[in-house]
Structure 1
Amino acid sequence: MPIDYNRLKSTAFEPLRHAYGPDDCILYALGVGAGLSDDLTLGDEVEYLYEEKLKALPPMVSVIAYPGFWMRDEVHGIDWRRVVNGEQRMTMFRPLPVSGQIVSRSCVARITDKGERGGAIVVTERSLFDEVTDQLVARVDQVNVCRGDGGYSAGEPTKSDDALPPIPRPPKRRPDDTLVLPVSKNQAAIYRLTGDRNPLHIDPESAKLTGLSAPILHGASMAGLASRAVMKTPPSPDAFVCQIDIRFTGMAYPGRAVAVERWLSLGETNFRCLEADTGRELAFGLAAWKSDKPVGK
Structure 2
Amino acid sequence: MNSGEWAGRALGERKVGYDEKDAMLYALAVGASAQDLDLVFEDRLRVLPTFGLTLSQWAPDVLAEAGAYGDAAVHGSQTLEVHRPLPRSGELTLSARVGGVWDKGTAAVFEVIVECDEFTAMWSLFAPGGGGFGGERGPARPPSEPRGAGALFAVPTFPTQAALYRLTGDRHHIHIDPEASARIGQPTPILQGLCTLAASTLVLAREQGAHPADLTSLQGRFSGPVVPGDVLELESWSDGAFTLRRDGAPAISDGRAVFA
Q: Under a length normalisation based on structure 2, what TM-score does the superposition of the two structures give?
A: 0.88
Going from structure 1 to structure 2, the CA distance change for 1:281 and 1:65 (only over 3 Å counts) comes to: closer
Going from structure 1 to structure 2, the CA distance change for 1:77 and 1:262 (only over 3 Å counts) comes to: closer
Spell out the pairing of 1:1-80 with structure 2 (5 A cutoff).
Answer: 3-6=2-5, 8-9=6-7, 11-35=9-33, 44-67=35-58, 69-73=61-65, 75-79=66-70
Q: 1:138 aligns with which of 119, 124, 136?
A: 119
What are the Cα deviations for residues 34-73 of structure 1, in whole angstroms up to 9, with x where unaligned?
228xxxxxxx323211222222112112112431623442
The count of residues paired between Structure 1 and Structure 2 equals 257
Please tell me the residue identity of whatever aligns with 1:137.
E
**SS, match of residue 153 in structure 2:** strand
Going from structure 1 to structure 2, the CA distance change for 1:3 and 1:206 (only over 3 Å counts) comes to: farther
For the aligned residues, what is the CA RMSD? 2.4
Question: How much identity, in percent, do the aligned residues show?
Answer: 25
Please tell me the residue identity of whatever aligns with 1:221.
C
Distance 1:191 1:289 in 2: 24
**SS, match of residue 76 in structure 1:** coil
Q: 1:127 aligns with which of 115, 135, 153?
A: 115
Please tell me the residue identity of whatever aligns with 1:283.
I
Match of 1:108 in 2: 98
Question: Does 2:167 align with 1:193?
Answer: yes
Match of 1:270 in 2: 241
What are the Cα deviations for residues 111-137 of structure 1, in whole angstroms up to 9, with x where unaligned?
112122xx2211100002xxxxxxx21
Distance 1:272 1:4 in 2: 31
Going from structure 1 to structure 2, the CA distance change for 1:227 and 1:288 (only over 3 Å counts) comes to: same
Q: 1:99 aligns with which of 68, 86, 89?
A: 89
1:110–1:161 CA contact under 8 A, matched in 2: no
Going from structure 1 to structure 2, the CA distance change for 1:251 and 1:194 (only over 3 Å counts) comes to: same
Which structure: larger Rg? 1
Q: C-alpha displacement at 1:212, in angstroms? A: 2.2
What are the Cα deviations for residues 179-208 of structure 1, in whole angstroms up to 9, with x where unaligned?
212211111111112222222211111111
